[in-house]
Structure 1
Amino acid sequence: MPSRFSQSVSIGFDGQIFRRQRRGGISRYFRELALNLRAAGAEVLMAEERQGCWPWSGHLPWRRADVVHATFYGGGPYRLQSHQRLVSSLFDMTPERHPEHFFLPALRSPHANKPGWLEVSDLIISISAASADDLAFFQPTLRTPLRVIHLATAIDRLVPQPVEALEGRRFWLMVGKRHAYKNGLTLLRALSLLHGGDGDRGRRDQPLLVCAGGGPWRAEERRWIHGQGLEDAVLQLAATDPVLAWLYRHAEAVLVPSLAEGFSLPLIEALACDTPVVASDLEVHREVGQSFATLLPALNARVWSELLAAAGQGTLPRPSHRLGGERYARLRRHFAPERLVQDHLEAYGSTTDRPSPRIRGRRG
């Protein structure tokens, strides 16, 4: 679809998310989106990370933009200039669906501000239809226009950096955080079932579970690993992007056992590297994984153990085999950065079609 975006329209990203996280999925999304938009010829006015999130706190370049894409939900929506449009992102509704996993300090969670931001925006960009459906359940009276724009990856274009300790070693891969709703403990439970009664030789014949990123083992993980004697069956390591590219390309399968997700980037990163995927049976995994991912009940460790036992025999087909060449190539194009940029340009352009934006004051 041709973009209605005019090159004379400027796009601004505020600094909210960079105040909250220097490294993280959302901050990375906005950095890469800004870079790719500029490469496509768009004018992008972006807050420096050190400038924080306060729109009234100085000479911030994004305040002059025609379209302001807010990067989080800090405080109340700020007053816009009369010509500006406000775009907000919806990454997930996990705090609303699973509040038991979000233990907050005395300060109010920014997610509590989410309804106010979304209500006064000119456009909501949701990273999945599943998240948009959740939003419709929790805010049924919301009338803000919404577009679904799937995430993208270019991990298959990176030069991989080998992990010497894993060269020649079979392994499964889990990427990112493991605690709470990420449900990494189910994989550890599955491993204990898989290795039970195998003996030392059986353990050496099974792939290693590699957990990349997500920080060192937490206390409960260490207790489980030690209690089940799994020290030689698991490995946790930090991973740069080139290391991740190597891990994805050499893993026997990528494992995603989450109880909730807004999108699940490891699915499309595995797709790009043509690596088998086993994921929990969630609405969003059905949406993103389509028919290339094997879906399992999130909390059924025995089913995961049985699947891993079969996967250890090399029976999991690669996405290209499951989809066929033409459909695999089409999905690869869909989850590529070029499509992501064009979808955003089209979305930004749609906000400038309305002649009279609402003028809104800051909510405190």
Structure 2
Amino acid sequence: MGTIIITVGAISGITGILAFLLTLAKNTIGNYGEVIININDDEDHVVDGGTTLLSALIDEKIFIPSACGGKGSCGYCKVKVNEGAGPILPTELGYLTPEDKKENVRLSCQVKVKNDFKIEIPEELFNVQEYEGKVSKIVDLTPTIKHLTFDLKEGEIDFKAGQYVQLRAPEYKGNDEEVYRAYSIASSPSKRDQLELIIGYVEEGIATTYVHHHLEEDEEVLFNGPYGDFFYQDTDREMVMVAIGTGMAPILSILYHMVENNINRKATFYFGARYLEDLFFVEELQEIEKKLPNFKFIPSLSRAKEDDNWTGEIGRVTDAIEKYMESGENKEAYLCGSPRMIDSTVELLKEKGMQEELIFYDKFE
């Protein structure tokens, strides 16, 4: 019995020492005190050290694009760091070009704030704002995709058709971290007091789990934006639009903009889905066809079932493009979807003669 008591006491003592050392490390080794972030040789921001540069800037209400929410998997949160960042980390290498490295560009989500920084960011990011919204409607478009409408509580958001915002997913049961995720705006730029998003469910995705299993109508949300250099270009070239799944969102925004401004350019929208149940907004797009006589919507199913009685295109969106588009000359493209779809479509369009600089795209994981 005495041996057991001694053993238990020893284990308890070791556990207590380890807990003390962890607490000490957290409060000393990881505590860098207050540091100064100088932006564009102009503004100084005093922040608490120890966090990432991305998080520190968010705390200062300076919002840097980050489609992955700071996980180091999108490469969007690039910032020019002239002083304070230290050596480039292995987690950054896959996202930095040789030119980025020469220009001191870093991934702000990977760089820890341990001392004073000097950084440069584009002036337009100072126009990015945080907005409070209220969920006015949630509609199930497919078994895994929801259409959400938010009413802004105050002010208006000014964005270009095709851009995106970052929606905040707060802590909830099963998730103890607050994250931001990027979603393309599906509504018309003319609706400045309202915002629509199309969000698909990703298993174990923090933000999509929040949206699909926790968020309800009448709840309040936070988002910031707008972001992105993927948006409608005002030219007279024929338009080739390509999307799969929730990638329809920015294309819808562009089409709504065209309808409202009576822009009747020749345009074709190739949309891909796996099954018939994965198609959505078909009636809305058919109505747009009536309003824009030079617009054509071509949906395609890659895994059509016999009992679907599907009479439309079968195969991937690239199959439909191959079938209906003869040449890419004097055309420009707007693509939104997975990296695999984007890459294969870009190659096909280039083979058909489309200039690469006229292929605009927005990739998402």
- More strand by proportion, 1 or 2? 2
Structure label with greater radius of gyration: 2
TM-score by length of 1: 0.25
- More helix by proportion, 1 or 2? 1
